[in-house]
Structure 1
């Protein structure tokens, strides 16, 4: 576990404030709108408390100076008439401020005008570090010291050598003294670097900033990190061991860079701020590939249910539509898949989506909707749905077992093989509703059908991987190859072939050490749904090569409809099925990294 060392290294400290050169700038303008122009630029360059240079010039705004602005600043039309234009002045100022930290009072105002000036004149806007003395003052000073954080008020508080008077250079000179006064105050609070000062201005606590050292020994590789809290063993603790709680689990392509952000102003989530305060350390688990990190994060969250992970509060909840296994099957919405011979379709992230699919089936097929278990030998009275021709009424013997079985097979095919019949079955009704301008009813039917076609894609992505005993795939990353072994939708092993290694040899050794995985029931993968979807995302990336496959990674030809095909069938399009009906055909050739 990574814990706070006794003393931070120079890398952890950041850039010392005393080693920096600052350009304190102030602008006078014709107003505060984006369309207004700069009339004067004043700047002071300082380092270590010593003034290195000053920059001051009036600027011809090529427009009139408003009377109120002239009264406020003392800058008149006559004064700027012979002044250089911004095109002449800006390059000199950019050179003066190059490589410095820019400081201003109400910095967004000044930097906003400078940014627009650069954009308007074709200059790249410099990526200056920026400090705002107004923001710093609001954080550092209390109301008992100053009634507000205006420059004039702060100048009186810090007894600046000059009094601000709404002229650019004078105001910049006063801001220099204000900056030094503020730095003196925060120095007593442990703020000694630019990074500390920027984070302090955003109200990052010293305790949180001090924990940046936790990231010092974290490697810059993909992996998973865990914020943990360890507490001394209390009375009655089994074995007298300390209590360890995992507070948060995350992943990153660069562990060190990601962990550091938790101790800076970049992290603004309140619950995470609370988590960092409670944590006593960070543990990291380096991974060979980003996919391995993605999968490990999901598994650790499922194992530990960390308090501060949102996914822990809302674990993977899924619903499935089940075609029951009985004499006269029906549709049922269930929360799990069993090995009971029934057909399952899903998963659905919300029960409402499952209900939409069930209603879409009822819209197109006269399947029974009652929940009673029917007998093939003892007929019962039919319900109202039979009279409305919404049910074929197997209960009263209107259809026999064989006829009903054929209907169920059509429903099964519409769910797991080809949704086009389900879409076509309601096309007449949908077209009529649109023609009659009954758009709300038509929208309800469309939503149900889209739930069916959308879930079909998810179903086949998951079920096709779950059915494969083994897939070995590789993808080039940099100079090497990331190699993964997937068994029944679960990541079983990971390997990396460097530029000096033969990928096939690395793949063989990775397979030899891979986890033994047993298949799950029905369409379920041998892993969590999210893990299998992460694997599917990786496999479907450009550049992935199949090195070996045991079984068929395939989808039925018409399993998923794109939007064009959906509209074609839903609105009663005629003619033969075209290539637009085919969205996914996942029959892939097994090729090695050197293949096509």
Structure 2
């Protein structure tokens, strides 16, 4: 053991610091009956759920479900639910959305079930089958909690019937969903009474009490004690003051506190928590400032436990080489007029392949002098896909229109290359060359996404300064001062505070932005993307813009409808004006 490593000092936290008090948590206790034990293969025959908060009954949900298939005899014998009983019951497509609405009406809802993986597995499978996004809710399993609380001598079995008998539940479990859910409510309350004297008073503490929480995690929970309930960035630091991990939060205390509970299951992060000795933080005016500061801190510290910290600003671009007969090159440092950014080299390569199908730029890597080239034509020249400037069959002046076509495409001045590519796609589909059509479609989609992303980011970065405002949800405003794609200042005005004096003060104190090279004037692509996403959210207003925000008339935005169809796997081209 390393005796030199500083030890975490235990801190007794107040109830407020511990997180969400248990009496404020809405528990939705559920039970399902099914045709078998395999989610996705078997299906649900009955829902039962009870909603409680602070020991008070808020509502009940119970219904049979038509499984649209037979019920095995052994299941009928166990549950008493026969095919005749469910024949006129609503189908799952009707019941599931009603249950999700019942279960997700409160931001502090926790789903509770006895042997929760079984019930949650069926609910997730049903949601996927019917096209519903599974809500991000905390899940509590009373089996796991009972095994943590009760000794083997007191509870040799943790089956629901055994625990209901042990705690004297008012309802006896009988393999019918609503009755079993009611019995689980009594078991839950009894278990919560047991953990109260052990110092478990909040949801976070309850989840932290479960077996999955390591002793190292539980012992470090005091690190969250002094953090404010404000948006910001947090930094876990190690014994030598090194930054181990950087993250953002809308509520710093609550988010950091989650690292010390069962909700944190990532092994890598658990190792980080065990190694950390301190959590620093930077309060931010609003989530946009936090997101930007996180990016900058990742670039500055490269913390080893952040997966994206090794190359936080890495992006790929397509640019023309600087030579008499320019060719396409995939790079990470863009020049003026570069196409991108792309999230990976592979996606950039797909876009390069699409460009070569539409614009006659050479594909070889050799350097070709402007005068008296002595090369030999390659196979692409034999296929009429290259005019062979390497052999002197094309002069720089003859080659220049291809270069200008690419520049016009990137700038959004001419989208004829896109139309040509889509005509080719139509030919592939008509002649039933479907495999080739699919590859061609993916290349076009990659090109259009890169063009659209680049044109939108470039338009934002070109503005010397703009001021954006968003409602803060409490009657006030959040402000962002953006200069050439960088966040130069951030702040807010609470309800009742005159906003414009706050704006003018933020402008006076804003950072000076030094312009760099490339289409984004040196701004990191990811920072510009984060700002653009914030600005494009519904409700955001532009307070002031130094120059008009321009989008190219023949840019990639006009092809978004086609792109959506392509992303959905559709082939062909229906045309667009």
Unaligned runs of 5+ in 1: 39-46, 48-65, 76-100, 113-128, 232-242, 575-579, 582-596
Pair 1:531-2:527 in alignment: yes
After TM superposition, give the deviation of residue 312 of structure 1 in Å.
1.5
Closer, same or farther in 2 for the Cα pair 1:472/1:404, shift >3 Å?
same
Cα distance between partner residues in 2 of 1:472 and 1:408: 37
Cα distance between partner residues in 2 of 1:177 and 1:400: 85
Q: Is the 8 A contact 2:299 2:311 kept in 1?
A: no
Q: Is the 8 A contact 2:405 2:414 kept in 1?
A: no
Closer, same or farther in 2 for the Cα pair 1:256/1:413, shift >3 Å?
same
In the TM superposition, 1:93-132 aligns within 5 A as: none
In the TM superposition, 1:195-594 aligns within 5 A as: 195=203, 196-205=205-214, 207-229=216-238, 231=239, 243-313=240-310, 315-338=312-335, 343-380=337-374, 381-418=376-413, 420-477=415-472, 478-560=474-556, 561-564=558-561, 581=577
After TM superposition, give the deviation of residue 216 of structure 1 in Å.
3.3
Q: Is the 8 A contact 2:470 2:478 kept in 1?
A: yes
Match of 2:14 in 1: 9
Closer, same or farther in 2 for the Cα pair 1:424/1:531, shift >3 Å?
same
After TM superposition, give the deviation of residue 496 of structure 1 in Å.
1.7
Report the TM-score, using the length of structure 1 for normalisation: 0.67
The DSSP-based 3-state class of the residue aligned with 1:249 is: strand
Q: Is the 8 A contact 1:139 1:203 kept in 2?
A: no
Cα distance between partner residues in 2 of 1:522 and 1:221: 36
Closer, same or farther in 2 for the Cα pair 1:213/1:361, shift >3 Å?
same
Closer, same or farther in 2 for the Cα pair 1:110/1:367, shift >3 Å?
closer
Closer, same or farther in 2 for the Cα pair 1:529/1:131, shift >3 Å?
closer
Q: Is the 8 A contact 2:34 2:44 kept in 1?
A: no
The DSSP-based 3-state class of the residue aligned with 1:437 is: coil
The DSSP-based 3-state class of the residue aligned with 1:443 is: helix
After TM superposition, give the deviation of residue 417 of structure 1 in Å.
1.9
- Give CA-to-partner distance per residue, 1:75-118, whole Å, 9 cap, x none: 9xxxxxxxxxxxxxxxxxxxxxxxxx999976899999xxxxxx
Closer, same or farther in 2 for the Cα pair 1:330/1:202, shift >3 Å?
same
After TM superposition, give the deviation of residue 436 of structure 1 in Å.
1.8
Q: Is the 8 A contact 1:517 1:526 kept in 2?
A: no
- Give CA-to-partner distance per residue, 1:493-528, whole Å, 9 cap, x none: 112233444333222221111111111102134432
- Count of residue pairs brought into register by the alignment: 482
Q: Is the 8 A contact 1:154 1:178 kept in 2?
A: no
Closer, same or farther in 2 for the Cα pair 1:559/1:244, shift >3 Å?
same
After TM superposition, give the deviation of residue 360 of structure 1 in Å.
1.1
Report the TM-score, using the length of structure 2 for normalisation: 0.69
Closer, same or farther in 2 for the Cα pair 1:179/1:110, shift >3 Å?
farther
Cα distance between partner residues in 1 of 2:409 and 2:16: 62
After TM superposition, give the deviation of residue 391 of structure 1 in Å.
0.7
The DSSP-based 3-state class of the residue aligned with 1:138 is: helix
Closer, same or farther in 2 for the Cα pair 1:144/1:490, shift >3 Å?
same
After TM superposition, give the deviation of residue 35 of structure 1 in Å.
3.7
The DSSP-based 3-state class of the residue aligned with 2:477 is: strand
Unaligned runs of 5+ in 2: 1-7, 37-42, 49-54, 56-71, 81-109, 122-137
In the TM superposition, 1:35-74 aligns within 5 A as: 35=45
RMSD (Å), alpha carbons? 4.9
Q: Is the 8 A contact 2:318 2:340 kept in 1?
A: yes
The DSSP-based 3-state class of the residue aligned with 2:393 is: coil
Closer, same or farther in 2 for the Cα pair 1:572/1:203, shift >3 Å?
closer
Larger-Rg structure = 1
Cα distance between partner residues in 2 of 1:16 and 1:292: 30
Q: Is the 8 A contact 2:19 2:254 kept in 1?
A: no
